[in-house]
């Protein structure tokens, strides 16, 4: 009789065209929403005030877009990245419609390709994951690529069928909830005084908050999403790794950076898309996270009440960018190539919905 347990897939187990139907469907509850706020410090009123949500046309408060992302991501971990030392990036992340408490989410993932690396012990795997609600309506879809441990470090497959990914989500693929009505938007609820018209491409918003990462919080958050990746939990395993300790889940870095960005972007209604995202460097417990946002583009959605902003959210560890100027990328003299500054941990190109002043 074979083993009743699984150790997860390794690099050699993946092949382009594979489809995983992930286990453990997840009903999202109001308790999940409250715990997400507690663990990340998020303050967006649409996701914490039923009355504010109703004033914008919703019957009830939508679940935070990033909580949806993390829960769907968590469905895929046992099949895709249980043996991953690092998730590397995202592309073409779309949120076709909102999720509400009581909805049940499930997911599937298609393998797109893989590639050997300069390291003998790991390769990179590209996948596309789709999240559905109980009516099998798509609520989330995204590409991602992850470093995955190999079974045999002495053998190279020489495979390289990495896919070409879209550089951004096309405007026609951006979805605004059909029930959203911003005619009664009240900035008193957000505390913000800047609207879509007030943000200019090239502008930088340096956010004032710094938050120190704690293992207890990131482990609770990661468990909330039922993400079982070992690098976030197993200190005994990680003591022999390059960093010698657990790595903070990259999604937690996204959530905390996004929560930090509230100051200066208070009137953001919801996330419409991730165009591209990179976990530039790892974060561990004790690191203090800061953030800044660059305004990349102002997009008119042909609506009288709202437009979109394409933003670049940069997460930085152990440097306050308001006090210590920092370049996003630097030159690695040994390799003679450009790379992320060692204190940059997140580079997220994403698009948000913002009310118009008129």
User: Tokens standing for 218?
Assistant: 């990131």
Query: Residue 255: which CATH number?
Result: 3.10.129.10
When divided into structural domains, the chain yields a total of: 1
Q: For the whole model, what pTM was predicted?
A: 0.95
Domain range holding 297?
11-152+168-178+188-355
Q: How many helices (H) and strands (E) does the chain have?
A: 7, 14
Q: Is residue 162 part of a domain?
A: no
Tens of each residue's pLDDT in the chain, 358 residues: 677 888 899 999 999 999 999 999 999 999 999 999 999 999 999 999 999 999 999 999 999 999 999 999 999 999 999 999 888 999 999 999 999 999 999 999 999 999 999 888 999 999 999 999 999 999 999 999 999 999 988 888 888 899 999 999 999 999 999 999 998 899 999 999 999 999 999 999 999 999 999 999 999 999 999 999 989 999 998 998 888 999 999 999 999 999 999 999 999 999 999 999 999 999 999 999 999 999 999 999 999 999 999 999 999 999 999 999 899 999 887 777 899 999 999 999 999 999 999 7
Q: Is 52 exposed, middle or buried (0-12, 13-18, 19+ CB in 10 A)?
A: buried
Residue 159 lies in a domain: no
**DSSP assigned state of 47:** G
With respect to residue 183, please indicate whether it lies within any of the assigned structural domains: no
- The candidate with the shortest Cα–Cα distance to 274, out of 89, 37, 35, is 89
H-type alpha helices, 41-84: 50-55, 65-80
C-alpha to C-alpha distance for 123 and 118, rounded to whole angstroms = 9
Q: How far apart are CA 27 and CA 226, in angstroms?
A: 12
Residue 226 domain flag: yes
Cβ atoms 116, 161 nearer than 8 A? no
Number of residues that this document lists for the chain: 358
């Amino acid at each position: 009789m074979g083993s009743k347990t699984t150790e997860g897939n390794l690099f050699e187990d993946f092949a382009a065209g594979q489809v995983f139907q992930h286990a453990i469907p997840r009903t999202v509850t109001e308790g999940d929403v409250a715990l997400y706020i507690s663990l990340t410090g998020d303050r967006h009123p649409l996701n914490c005030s039923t009355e504010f949500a109703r004033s914008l046309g919703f019957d009830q408060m939508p679940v935070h877009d990033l909580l949806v992302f993390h829960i769907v991501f968590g469905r895929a971990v046992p099949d895709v990245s249980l043996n991953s030392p690092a998730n590397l990036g995202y592309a073409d992340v779309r949120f076709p419609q909102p999720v509400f408490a009581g909805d049940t989410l499930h997911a599937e993932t298609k393998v797109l390709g893989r590639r050997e690396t300069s390291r003998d012990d790991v390769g990179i795997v590209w996948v596309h994951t789709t999240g559905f609600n109980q009516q099998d309506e798509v609520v989330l879809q995204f590409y991602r690529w992850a470093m995955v441990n190999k079974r045999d470090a002495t053998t190279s497959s020489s495979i390289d069928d990495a896919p070409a990914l879209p550089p951004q989500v096309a405007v026609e693929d951006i979805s605004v909830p059909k029930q959203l009505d911003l005619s009664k938007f009240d900035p008193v609820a957000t505390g913000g005084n800047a609207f879509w018209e007030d943000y200019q491409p090239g502008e930088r918003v340096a956010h004032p908050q710094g938050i120190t990462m704690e293992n207890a919080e990131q482990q609770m958050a990661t468990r909330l999403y039922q993400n079982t990746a070992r690098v976030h939990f197993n200190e005994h395993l990680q003591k022999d790794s390059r960093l010698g300790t657990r790595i903070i889940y990259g999604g937690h870095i996204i959530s905390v950076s996004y929560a930090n960005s509230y100051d200066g972007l208070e009137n953001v209604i919801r996330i419409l898309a991730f165009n591209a995202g990179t976990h530039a460097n790892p974060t561990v417990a004790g690191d203090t996270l800061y953030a800044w946002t660059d305004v990349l583009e102002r997009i008119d959605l042909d609506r009288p009440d709202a437009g979109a902003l394409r933003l670049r959210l940069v997460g930085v560890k152990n440097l306050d960018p308001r006090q210590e100027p920092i370049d996003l990328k630097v030159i690695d003299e040994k390799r003679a190539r450009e790379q992320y500054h060692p204190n940059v941990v997140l580079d997220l190109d994403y698009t948000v919905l913002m009310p118009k002043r008129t």
